[in-house]
Structure 1
Amino acid sequence: TGGGSASGGSTGAGGKGGSLPRDETLYTTGTQWGPPANYNPLRNWDHATGTKGLVYETLFHFDPNEGKLTPWLAESGDWTGDTTYDVKLRAGITWADGEPLTAKDVAYSYGLGKIEASSFHSLWSWLADAKAVDDTTVRFTFKEARYQEWDYTLFGQPVVPEHIWGTRTEEDVLNGVNDKPVGTGAYTLKSKTQDRVVWERRDDWWGTKALDMTPAPRYIVDVSNPSNEVVIGQLGQGQLDLSNNFLPGASSLIKSKKVVSYYDEAPYMLSANTAWLVPNTTKKPMDDAAFRRALAASVDTAKIVKGVYGELVKPASPTGLLPQWEQFDDKALIAEKGFTHDVAAAKKELAEAGYRDKDGDGFVENKDGKPLSLKLAVPSGWTDWMEAAKVVAAGAKDAGIKITTEFPDQNALNEQRAKGDFDLVVNNERQLSN
């Protein structure tokens, strides 16, 4: 990711920054692709960037390079039995409204997963109870102790204040806009418009004392941009400080010192997650493992890495694990079950599974002879994914699979995906990211 020169003026990206002092304001972009939908941390797929992290916090953080949990709201967490886990909270943490954070807030927050429509309802198929033993101790009791999944939950699940959320209906808890968010985090919501959210630092944040940390920016402005291309101009003009966008030609921009990379050498965008092709397995022929194997073999990953990204990124492992976790790869299993780009192998797999081109148009039909045509959707403006999708479609064509690309608005695509209304999408969510 790059950093702009951050010099001069009081306006931010797009020249609409208002009167925020430039030397105390951090302008970011690259994660919000449309008007912020809500500030509800339980809607972790479409809340405004910063809702979880800047405002609502989690019990632990995760260091992906070290593979370790770091205590955050929690002072410690320990398995006290085969199926019991105790969390000890730090003393002196307060919500932004001055109320103290207690173990009851944590137990309540995890208990929201009991609501059937909750996004983390499945947690309660193996968690039996979450209760406050005292003001700073929460005891979790499990029907089945899933240690790795539990670690993910510890740094992924935000804690919300029971004294505010407990008065809300289930519908409001799960889907409410929550536009006056009250969290334990270092920032509060100052203002919002269609293209940006402004967060303001809390001078009474608990971490200043407990962690000896004071966030440098008084204000953080997260800017929604419609396209990666727009960002290059904003970085060049010093209107942005941090960008998480794919920047076409990033290597030359870094060499000319127009942007600064966190990393000293290529690949400048160290993998923080894995992008993968998601087939809707409720639809034919994606419910067929043989078809999925053929589709995987048709994807020219090297072409995406070199042609689309200019080698800014690394090719993904068939396991989906990030490069820093290669030590966990089962090399023998990958050799047996893994996949590489191989058009001949894809064609062979299709033929053996009964997918044939009966009408001579160059594309195979379904096993029942009906036309086979799939749509691959990625968000409009995500230029790297858009180009990668075209490479996927071209590779599929070489193997005899008909795929067309479409580029809807991101929020619209999120809704379609949630309903299962898609053939193929690309995704990189819900991973242990930097």
Structure 2
Amino acid sequence: MVKRLMLTLMLSIILIPLVGCQISSKVRRPDPDTLYVGCVQTAFPSAYMPWLSREGIAPTIAGMLYDSLFIYDEDSGNYLPSIGKEWYYVDENGEPIVTEDGSIDYARLESIYGDPKHQYLAVKVILHDTITWSDGEPLTAEDVYYSFDVATNNTLSNHAGALAWTSDLRHSYTNGVLTRRGIFTYDHGALQQGYRIAEEDRDRVVYMHVNKVLGSVTPLFTSVLILPEHVWKPVVSLESQLNSTSPNEEILYRYSHPVGSGLWVLDTEESGSQQIILHRRQDYHRTQADGSPLSGIDTIKYVLYQEINVAIYALLKGHIDVLDNSVSSNYLRLFENEEQIFVSDAPGQFTQTLVFNLNPVSSEQNPMRNLLQNKDFRKAMALAINQDELIKNVLDGAGLRASAGLMSAALEDFYNPAADSLPTDYGVRI
């Protein structure tokens, strides 16, 4: 049976100026040594397993408690050290493919891996050797192996996002059985693959096989937050998956008592649905160039507000230092005379669409919905939607038409003008 596709009509891309505010001059906080941050949402989460937390403030907190292998620097295009200290593309013997100045030797890389016999690019990652988890255990190559291994094994992770992050890693499972190994450590097949790792380096060297696309390392380096094997491996199973829909007591405890390698540690005793308290780790491995702590803040307290006006009032009265929320530009006038409050004014982009469900379940079908299966009727609706009027009257002019392919015309390599087949002149449409 051939399923019909749903037809999506683009109404507009909205470009509403959004603002974020910080630093009030009327400080009335109870603790001067703590940074108070206001957040507007329904409630704070109780789970901080990074692969589970994907709503509200949870991803932000997870990114502070856990680290990825590297941090991508958009300005330079380089991967900055995090858990990983350095990385290279390597040849079949594990030797770095670099020029004399240490940069990637793309010519040699092409000469080696351009051969069709090579189905992958080999990457070597060297970890910092001074990293510990927040419970004091050392972070090793086996933690990295476990994190990527479970991410590619959906029967244990139950996490579709993890499969997407690792789609370019040539490490595969089929129904819970490893069918192709693409991660190698001292204890997991490095020598058999021809990669010699010295005994003294066993805890800090990882090899990966990735698809033959130069950007394939990006999600592996920056999207996957590394998990402690000693915390998760004993409790994750086919019955109790990492992203469990019905977590048992052991899984729940680990969700609410995260053990990470990041700069911050969750105060589990004081944190709850109304506030989140983070303390800076004194033994964090990354520092400033002069050896001083990476952050000068010792404690961050996130305070929950369920209504934006209350949060703005708290900022103006000095009860919080930062309001970490996007708000409409209509609020800007409230801060015109507040010289000590910095307002980050930037456009925020989101897309408004109209979707036709052409295949409702039989119990939801009715004569009106049957009309949507008529192609001419759908065309008439598309022609009748006046995008310019919607932008003018609904968005107060703060919007733009969107391409039918959701692609900006400025992206010449990707934008397809043929996708925008409807006349732009509304009179011509009618």
TM-score category (smaller protein): 0.5 to 0.7
More helix by share: 1
Name the CA distance, whole Å, in 2 between partners of 1:287 and 1:125. 36
Correspondences of 1:312-327 after superposition (within 5 Å): 318=403
Q: In structure 2, what is the equivalent of residue 260 of structure 1?
A: 341
Q: In structure 2, what is the equivalent of residue 187 of structure 1?
A: 264
- TM-score, normalised on structure 1? 0.62
Q: Output one character per residue of 1:270-292: Cα deviation in whole Å (capped at 9) or x when no partner.
A: 54x65564859785699999969
Q: Does 1:205 align with 2:215?
A: no
Which residue among 144, 155, 159 is the counterpart of 1:118? 159
- TM-score, normalised on structure 2? 0.62
Q: 129-138 or 145-154, which moves further after superposition?
A: 145-154
Which residue among 228, 233, 245 is the counterpart of 2:325? 245
- Aligned partners of 2:314 and 2:320 also within 8 Å: yes
Which structure's CA Rg is the greater one?
2
Correspondences of 1:229-244 after superposition (within 5 Å): 229-244=309-324
Name the CA distance, whole Å, in 2 between partners of 1:287 and 1:149. 41
SS in structure 2 opposite 1:269?
strand
**Structure 2 unaligned blocks of 5 or more:** 1-19, 92-112, 114-119, 172-181, 187-201, 245-250, 361-368
Distance change in 2, residues 1:39/1:292 (3 Å): farther
SS in structure 2 opposite 1:173?
coil
Correspondences of 1:15-414 after superposition (within 5 Å): 21-30=31-40, 32-46=41-55, 48-80=58-90, 82=113, 83=120, 84-113=122-151, 114-116=153-155, 117-119=158-160, 120-122=162-164, 126=168, 127-128=170-171, 129-133=182-186, 134-142=202-210, 144-170=211-237, 171=240, 173-175=242-244, 176-177=251-252, 178-190=255-267, 191-208=270-287, 212-248=292-328, 249-257=330-338, 260-261=341-342, 263=344, 268-271=345-348, 274-275=350-351, 277=353, 279=355, 298=385, 300=387, 318=403, 329-330=411-412, 333-338=415-420, 344=426
Q: Cα RMSD over matched residues?
A: 4.1
How many correspondences in the alignment?
A: 326
Bigger relative contact order, structure 1 or 2 (CA pairs below 8 A, ≥6 apart): 2
Name the CA distance, whole Å, in 1 between partners of 2:53 and 2:241. 15
Post-superposition offset of 1:301: 8.2
Post-superposition offset of 1:72: 1.6
Q: Which amino acid aligns with 1:44?
A: S
Name the CA distance, whole Å, in 2 between partners of 1:259 and 1:293. 54
Name the CA distance, whole Å, in 1 between partners of 2:136 and 2:426. 65
Q: Which amino acid aligns with 2:131?
A: I
Post-superposition offset of 1:239: 1.9
Post-superposition offset of 1:38: 0.8
Name the CA distance, whole Å, in 2 between partners of 1:109 and 1:346. 57
- Aligned partners of 1:27 and 1:242 also within 8 Å: yes
Distance change in 2, residues 1:232/1:96 (3 Å): same
Distance change in 2, residues 1:332/1:51 (3 Å): closer
Q: Output one character per residue of 1:107-141: Cα deviation in whole Å (capped at 9) or x when no partner.
A: 11111111232231245554222232431111111
Name the CA distance, whole Å, in 1 between partners of 2:53 and 2:379. 29
SS in structure 1 opposite 2:319?
coil
- Aligned partners of 2:88 and 2:125 also within 8 Å: yes
Distance change in 2, residues 1:205/1:125 (3 Å): closer
**Percent of residue pairs bearing the same amino acid type:** 18
Distance change in 2, residues 1:8/1:121 (3 Å): same
Post-superposition offset of 1:197: 0.9
Post-superposition offset of 1:196: 1.6
SS in structure 2 opposite 1:110?
helix
